[in-house]
Amino acid sequence: MQYLSERLHATNTGKPRGEKEANRETVAAQQRRRLLAATERLIAERGCAGTTIERIAKQARVSSITFYDHFAGKEEAFVAAFDEAAAAALARLASDVPTGLSWPEQVREGLRSLLVTIAANPERATMCLIESQKGGPALLARYEAQFESAVSKLSEGRLRDEAATGLPESLEETTAAGIAWLLREQLETVGAEGIEEMLPRLVDVALTPYLGSAEALHVVAPSGKS
């Protein structure tokens, strides 16, 4: 009955063909949004292993048949939800980090933006930072691509002076992994409440290998401000 109702609502035979097509597209877009939101919530609550197509469809208030209109399987839905979350985070990052900042300031403001994003949507953060590594190879590849982007940004610190060229080759991967671990630990043990207070610690982890502890602290609190 649910599937039939969806189809009847989408068809709306009393309208002109162009209007009917536009209506079908609107309904489909709404269904997809609900499916992605349901996928995100369920992954955060139950993990990838406990998130089934039936649960996604039920929470999205659509039929399982409608789910397959949008996704070939649950792994494809996982990837689509991750992609949407990553796109939103990157858009916020672009808005939050002004052009013209020095590299240390870019790192600081990028981390600040990340923490604000996590605080605003802990479920999404749980999906992206924790469960994305457990949802199959395609989802893991998405996580690793974002991880490599962070590694690339950190590696810009090597261009600051000649001394930085002698740093260990694995430094950026180790640093990015350490930051990700700290964030996962916070989410799993305490939750997102107060997570923005982690900024000084994360900036210290990210910048000290390149700047030294004193200069990294100055980036966190310029001119002695807290």
Query: Which among 26, 27, 61 has a CA at the least distance from the CA of 41?
Result: 61
Cβ of 91: how many Cβ atoms within 10 Å?
Answer: 10
**pLDDT number for residue 226:** 42
By the 10 Å C-beta count (0-12 exposed, 13-18 middle, 19+ buried), 102 is classed as exposed
State the pLDDT confidence band at 6, using cuts at 50, 70 and 90: low
51 closest CA partner among 35, 33, 68: 35
d(CA 98, CA 179): 22
Rounded mean pLDDT of 28-45?
97
Does residue 24 carry a pLDDT above 60? yes
Determine the Cα–Cα distance for residues 145 and 127; give it in Å rounded to an integer.
15
Give the model confidence (pLDDT) of 121-180 as tens digits: 999 999 999 999 999 999 999 999 999 999 999 999 988 766 677 889 999 999 999 999
pLDDT in tens, 70-121: 999 999 999 999 999 999 999 999 999 998 999 999 999 999 999 999 999 9
Count of Cβ atoms closer than 10 Å to residue 146 Cβ: 19
Greater pLDDT, 205 or 162:
205
Per-residue confidence (pLDDT) for residue 12, from 0 to 100? 53
Q: Where are the domains of the chain?
A: 2-71, 76-224
Rounded Cα distance between 38 and 47, Å, is 12
SS3 content of the chain, % helix, strand, coil (to 5): 80, 0, 20
**Mean pLDDT for the stretch of residues 209-213:** 90
Write down the pLDDT at residue 16: 72
| Averaged pLDDT, 181-190 | 96
pLDDT tens digit sequence for 52-67: 999 999 999 999 999 9
Domain 2-71 is found in CATH 1.10.10.60: yes
Distance CA 202, CA 185 (A): 13
How far apart are the C-alpha atoms of 45 and 50, rounded to whole Å? Answer: 9
Give backbone dihedrals phi and psi of 181, rounded to 5 degrees, phi first.
Answer: -65, -40
Residues 172 and 152: their CA atoms lie apart, in Å, by 8
Q: What is the mean pLDDT of residues 14-23?
A: 72
User: 9 pLDDT exceeds 70?
Assistant: no
- 119 token code pair: 């605080």
* Residue 61 and residue 43 in contact, taking contact as beta carbons nearer than 8 Å: no
Q: What is the pLDDT of residue 70?
A: 97
**Which tokens belong to 107?**
């790192």
Q: What is the DSSP string of 100-152?
A: T--HHHHHHHHHHHHHHHHHH-HHHHHHHHTGGGSS-HHHHHHHHHHHHHHHH
pTM for the full predicted model: 0.84
